[in-house]
Structure 1
Amino acid sequence: MATTINSKTSRDKLAPRREPYWSRIQAGLYVGYRKPTEGEGTWIARRRNEDGKQQYRALGTLAAYDDAARAASEWANAIDAGVSSKGMTVKEACEHYVKHLGLHKGAASKADAEGRFRRLVYDAKIGRVDLSKLRTSEIKTWLSAQIEIGESDAEDEDDLRRAKDSANRNLASLKAALNLALHDRLVATDAGWKTVAKFKDVGRRRQSFLSADQRKALIHACACDIKQLATAMLLTGARPGELANASVGHFDREQGTLSLEGKTGHRVITLSSAAIAFFTEQTKNKIGNAPILATEFGQRWNKDSWKKPFRTAVLAAKLPSTVVMYTLRHTAISEFIANGADSFIVARLAGTSTAMIDKHYGHLRHDKTRAKLDAIAIL
């Protein structure tokens, strides 16, 4: 008596066995159902090549017979269209893409992509997934994991924006590798990654800037302890985490300098007279390893402790919701540049590159230069 696997009821009545129960879809193409002793059954496709040899493709666990039949047909059609029948993993697709870049784009593009894949794909779980079985949820999980790492290191919302921006670039590289595999007929469909979208509105730094009146209103609205941290940021342009880590021993009153440790390493910055007076007051009667700036409980600041009181001050000062701690750093750097400070000096103070200064603040330098040129009567 012939067996049927077209309905769940009929499959439930089958005796468990390793050999699949087969159902013919069309000439030379079959779909099989393997019934286990326990748990869900699995599906497999089988086709006969022109040379008479059989090819098999594991389809995994699927909800219905129609799903399995459709998957088997897609697999067979892809082979007929020239798609490689040999399984390729995500890692292998990325390696294929890296070689392609080396041949067609140059060493710099190849090194950039290879660096991303080494960090995030080659040794990761997603790297071992077969392209034909890659699911959208796996790509999304991979993408979200990068943001979770970014959140643990983020000092505020702007750090998280940068983490998302970086994740977007990583996603773009991965999708480019997978699309090349599709183009080269190494996989039949892009269904596993086509609909995965990048994070929106994270490609540019939020350029909130506080005017003199807004700065005064914010400082006035701050509680005493957060006021000190905010003031230090405006006076130095440093990152909040760098100032939070600074101890009394890092301030040299005689030289008028402050040593900072941050994401760009160690640096010593020159302080203005106003900043020297401020840090002199903050370090008075404190021992060398004590924090220069501390919460009302005497603890060092961190992103969790400064977020709420700063948000409260922003609301009290009636400032835009886009104002975050990094807005103070942006404001300070903008003022430095607008008032004629050299880009190299500002980059040293802020712990960044001159390229980044020119990219984000170069227009201010040009405006200042233009004003000076306009004052000259040439004609």
Structure 2
Amino acid sequence: MAHSINSKTAREKLEPRREPYWSRIQTGLFIGYRKAEQGQGTWIGRRRDEDGKQVYRALGTFSDYDAAVKAANEWANAIEAGVSSKGLTVKQACEHYVKHLAMHKGSASEKDAEGRFKRLVYAAKIGKIDLARLRTSDVKSWLGAQIEQDEADAEDEEDLRRAKDSANRNLASLKAALNLALRDRLVATDAGWKTVSKFGDVGRRRTAFLPADQRKALVAACPVDLRYLVKAMLLTGARPGELARANVEHVDEDQGTLELDGKTGHRVVTLSSAASAFFAALVKDKDAGTPVLSTEFGQRWNKDSWKKPFKTAAAAANLPAAVVMYALRHTAISEMIANGMDSFIVAKLAGTSTAMIDKHYGHLRHDKTRAKLDAVAML
């Protein structure tokens, strides 16, 4: 018995079943509707191949019959144009690309691409997606997830730049694999990835700034050991890793200074009166070789030990999701510049270059200068 699936009303009257209800589109091409017990039904395409075998294709969910027919026709037309009728996942497309590199580019290129795909594609959600159904949002989510992880670990602008630069290279490898699948007629269109762009400026990003009320809320939400580390970052603008490596012997209470070792080498930073008192209290009665800052278990801090507690504290303080550990350094440097400190001095204190300070915080210096100019009556 034939059943109509052309209208929503007719489909609603159908009995749920595993076998689709079929409708002929043209000779050799049919579209089927599978009625579900609950929720939206799904559409299936069916055609006869050159060997006389029936080939099926899951088309997905559509709100109306015409949209489903369009999808079935696109599938059939792609096969007529030589595109493979077999569903290909993103993972399989990447594996196809790796084999291509081994044949045409050599083992170095092959190993580089395969390493990226093993880390980021094969076991990931995107790897399981049918290439014909890959959406731009899928690729953007995949790309963004890489940066979110690296942002949480970042200690300064250079870490963030490298993270975005690395993500750009990963995107280039993925798009190369998908474009090869398109050239080899394994998929009909590149609409799912063509418009996804790499990060344009890998040396600059918008970082969360914490105003005074948010800083106080964060400090209050931190457990005692993390609270000291957070305060140390806000009082110095130093990287968390530099502070974690500092020992009691590196605090000079007489001079009001702190010695730090980081990615830019050794430096001695001047502490404010508040910071000097803070560090003096931290090192009181401690041995010279012990860490200035440590976890509740007496261990030296590292990114693995501060990441989760910081995230929990930030959430408890109702801070924006963009707030990560690096936001404290960014906030401290922003406040120094906004309060009129010379960029050369700030760069020395923070262990960075004046060029980096001017690039990321120059707008704050301009605002301060503008305020001073506005106070001058020229005319």
Residues 97, 177 of structure 1: 8 Å contact kept: yes
Pick from 327, 333, 353: which aligns with 1:310? 333
What code does the residue aligned with 1:3 have? H
In 2, the alpha carbon distance for the partners of 1:305 and 1:80 equals 58
What CA RMSD, in Å, does the superposition of the two structures yield over aligned residues? 3.9
In 2, the alpha carbon distance for the partners of 1:196 and 1:276 equals 44
2:61 is equivalent to residue 38 of structure 1: no
In 1, the alpha carbon distance for the partners of 2:350 and 2:260 equals 22
Once the two structures are TM-superposed, the CA of residue 3 in structure 1 deviates from its matched residue by: 2.6
In 1, the alpha carbon distance for the partners of 2:270 and 2:46 equals 81
Residues 59, 68 of structure 1: 8 Å contact kept: yes
Aligned to 2:292: 291
Cα deviation 1:175-207 (Å, max 9, x = unaligned)? 1101101111111221221222222211x579x
In 2, the alpha carbon distance for the partners of 1:67 and 1:145 equals 32
Cα deviation 1:108-150 (Å, max 9, x = unaligned)? 2222211111110111121122212222222122112111101
2:175 is equivalent to residue 152 of structure 1: no
In 1, the alpha carbon distance for the partners of 2:172 and 2:249 equals 42
2:344 is equivalent to residue 330 of structure 1: no
Provide the secondary structure at the position in 2 that maps to 1:46.
strand
Provide the secondary structure at the position in 2 that maps to 1:242.
helix
TM (norm. structure 1) is 0.64
With over 3 angstroms needed to count, the CA separation of the structure-2 counterparts of 1:107 and 1:331, relative to structure 1, is farther
Once the two structures are TM-superposed, the CA of residue 250 in structure 1 deviates from its matched residue by: 7.2
Residues 89, 129 of structure 1: 8 Å contact kept: yes
Aligned to 1:19: 19
Structure 1: gaps of 5 or more residues: 207-223, 234-239, 294-298, 334-379
In 2, the alpha carbon distance for the partners of 1:332 and 1:196 equals 31
What code does the residue aligned with 2:163 have? A
Aligned length: 287
In 1, the alpha carbon distance for the partners of 2:65 and 2:348 equals 56
With over 3 angstroms needed to count, the CA separation of the structure-2 counterparts of 1:259 and 1:227, relative to structure 1, is closer
Aligned to 2:118: 118
Q: Percent identity?
A: 57
Within 5 A, what are the aligned runs for 1:1-379? 2-202=2-202, 204=203, 229=236, 240-248=239-247, 260=261, 275=268, 287-288=287-288, 289-291=290-292, 303-317=326-340, 328-331=351-354
In 2, the alpha carbon distance for the partners of 1:93 and 1:171 equals 14
Provide the secondary structure at the position in 2 that maps to 1:32.
strand
With over 3 angstroms needed to count, the CA separation of the structure-2 counterparts of 1:98 and 1:194, relative to structure 1, is same
Provide the secondary structure at the position in 2 that maps to 1:196.
coil
In 2, the alpha carbon distance for the partners of 1:150 and 1:205 equals 14
In 2, the alpha carbon distance for the partners of 1:20 and 1:54 equals 14
Structure 2: gaps of 5 or more residues: 206-230, 253-258, 295-299, 307-324, 357-379
Once the two structures are TM-superposed, the CA of residue 19 in structure 1 deviates from its matched residue by: 1.8
Once the two structures are TM-superposed, the CA of residue 69 in structure 1 deviates from its matched residue by: 0.8
Residues 244, 291 of structure 2: 8 Å contact kept: no
What code does the residue aligned with 2:70 have? R
In 1, the alpha carbon distance for the partners of 2:233 and 2:127 equals 45
With over 3 angstroms needed to count, the CA separation of the structure-2 counterparts of 1:243 and 1:74, relative to structure 1, is same
Residues 83, 187 of structure 2: 8 Å contact kept: yes
Cα deviation 1:46-88 (Å, max 9, x = unaligned)? 1122333211111121222122111111111111111111222
In 2, the alpha carbon distance for the partners of 1:71 and 1:58 equals 10
Residues 269, 349 of structure 2: 8 Å contact kept: no
Provide the secondary structure at the position in 2 that maps to 1:69.
helix
Aligned to 1:336: none
TM (norm. structure 2) is 0.64
What code does the residue aligned with 2:58 have? A
In 2, the alpha carbon distance for the partners of 1:319 and 1:261 equals 22
Residues 250, 260 of structure 1: 8 Å contact kept: no
